[in-house]
Structure 1
Amino acid sequence: MSELTFELVDGRKVTVDVRSALNGGYAGRSQDDVAAHVAELAELGVPAPSTTPCLYPVAPYLVSQADTVPAQHGHTSGEAEWAMIVTDDDVLLTVACDHTDRDLEVHGVAWSKQAAPDVVGRQAWRLSAVADRLDSLTLTAWVGDGASWTEIQRGTLAELLTPQYWLDVLRRRNLLAPGTVLLSGTIPMHPGVDQFASAWRVELGDPATGAVIRCQYTVERLPEPVA
């Protein structure tokens, strides 16, 4: 189990023990966006899913607010997403980056989700506080090399299935309980940008207020195994 602490707009801090974690996949509202994401992954050798959207349960300890993500090789990368956190008395919304082992993903998306963490922000909004403008919230990601950043994803939450959609899914599956964390699935990447970077930064922005929630981490290669 993983413990997360979020700072809210009013300065209050909320601590959550993660008891259930799920990753949405192929979750665009537009079938064109879903097809684009399937094509992105197909270039990496990942077979297309038999149905969309998908929902992948992952180990709760994989949800993290870490600044560093260890990787066994150079073919891992992130995905810009939002995350929904169910607390004892509320639902929070924050930014997330679903880091994934792309080599393992070729053999099974569900397996690859277990091989790298879901990094989430340290700040959050109450879902009810932004419910009237969810579609206008922005999601942007950059990849870095230690010296500069290059934008790799940009869109709005209007491109993804809504938090309410996933709340209904959780309710039907008896997973709508305190400690549940769900990541939304991602938006298309810009073509021609190398996703296998040494750092990722993702921002969830609210144009109405100018507020931004971000997460950022470096990717560090593990030593070669002795075997």
Structure 2
Amino acid sequence: MLFSVNGRTLPIAFSNLIVAGWTGRNADAIAHHIEELAALGVAPPSTTPLYYRVSAPLLTQASEIEVVGADSSGEVEPLIVQTGAERYLGMASDHTDRALEAHSVAMSKQVCAKPCATALWPWAEVEDHLEEIEMRSYIFEGGDWVLYQEGTLASIRPLTDLIDGSGLADLAQNGAVGMLCGTFGAIGGVRPAPRFRMEMRDPVLGRTITHEYDSVSLADVA
């Protein structure tokens, strides 16, 4: 994959991909997200946070993904990328099959592509103000873009804690690693949409990363 880092092109071949779940810092926020997914039949986690390993090729910069059926949806998340000793912050969507999630969260993570933005920020440029970084997502609903998620990284567990908990640095010794780091509650509830737009804004350095993608539903043939 080719990423843009401050105007230069950085090729990265991922060996591992992790999806960190249940990463809210506020206990009430975690409970809210658990209730949100319980309404869809999803069992509560055994512990928090959890680190789901998924296939590295699921990470994609495509503007269109294919999903089975009409029960999947996206979630904007910070994306940590580590290649060798170099670390970056990016943005991705943990697109998830909600119907399968009621059976197995791990399987639901594995069956959907994880769209990500093409831009990365060097870790050294953001580590002193990570909690001020803002993230938002929008879904195309009723013929218009609707705000779907909104928050700052201050509502997610410290990213350094997730790095330590996942063993990301150790994994990176054998190739580049990406980790999606959790998300915010959905405004109006978790629901599918044919188009998903996300953005990550750094208010300190005055820059924004954006990405948008369409979900094409394939027939769920029994």
TM-score band, normalised by shorter chain? over 0.9
Q: How far is 1:78 from its partner?
A: 0.6
Please give the per-residue CA displacement for 1:24-53, whole angstroms capped at 9, x wherever unaligned. 000011111111110110011101112111
CA distance in 2, matches of 1:184, 1:176: 16
Superposed counterparts of 1:38-49, under 5 Å: 38-49=34-45
Cα deviation for residue 191 of structure 1 reads: 2.4
C-alpha contact (below 8 Å) 2:163/2:169 kept by paired residues? no
Match of 2:200 in 1: 204
- Equivalenced residues, count: 221
Q: Please say if residues 63 and 117 of structure 1, whose CA atoms lie closer than 8 Å, have aligned partners that are also in contact.
A: yes
TM-score (norm 2): 0.94
Q: CA deviation at 1:173?
A: 8.3
- 1:85 maps to which residue? 81
8 Å CA contact 1:146–1:198 kept in 2: the answer is no
Q: How does 1:16-95 map to 2 (within 5 A)?
A: 16-95=12-91
Alignment match, 2:99: 103
Gaps of 5+ in 1: none
1:181 equivalent to 2:217? Answer no
Contact 1:146/1:199, CA 8 A, preserved across alignment: no
Is residue 191 from structure 1 mapped to residue 193 from structure 2 by the alignment? no
Q: Which whole-Å CA distance do the structure 2 matches of 1:101 and 1:199 have between them? A: 15
The answer to whether residue 154 in structure 2 is matched with residue 158 in structure 1 is yes
Deviation at 1:146, TM superposition (A): 8.3
Whole-angstrom distance in 1 between the partners of 2:123 and 2:136: 19
CA distance in 1, matches of 2:82, 2:217: 33
Q: After TM superposition, give the deviation of residue 143 of structure 1 in Å.
A: 0.3
What is the one-letter code of the residue matched to 1:186? T
Contact conserved, 1:97 with 1:215, CA < 8 A, in 2?
Answer: no
For the pair 1:171 / 2:163, whether they are aligned, the reply is no
Give, in whole Å, the separation in 1 of the partners of 2:177 and 2:162: 12
Match of 2:10 among 11, 14, 26: 14
Could you tell me whether the CA contact under 8 Å between 1:143 and 1:195 is conserved in 2?
Answer: no
SS at match of 2:53: strand
TM-fit CA distance, 1:174? 3.3
CA distance in 2, matches of 1:162, 1:121: 22
Any conservation in 1 of the 2:93–2:116 contact (CA below 8 Å)? yes
Shift of residue 147, structure 1, vs aligned partner: 3.7
Contact 1:155 1:187 in 2 (8 A): yes
**Where does residue 213 of structure 1 map in the other structure?**
209
Residue 52 of structure 2: SS of its match in structure 1?
strand
CA distance in 2 between counterparts of 1:224 and 1:132 reads: 46
Q: Deviations over 1:124-177 (max 9, x none)?
A: 101110111100000101001484200010000001122211221243883243
Q: 207-216 vs 24-33, which deviates more? A: 207-216
CA distance in 1 between counterparts of 2:108 and 2:8 reads: 35
Task: Give the distance between the partners of 2:169 and 2:83, measured in 1 at CA.
Answer: 17
Identity across matched positions, percent: 33
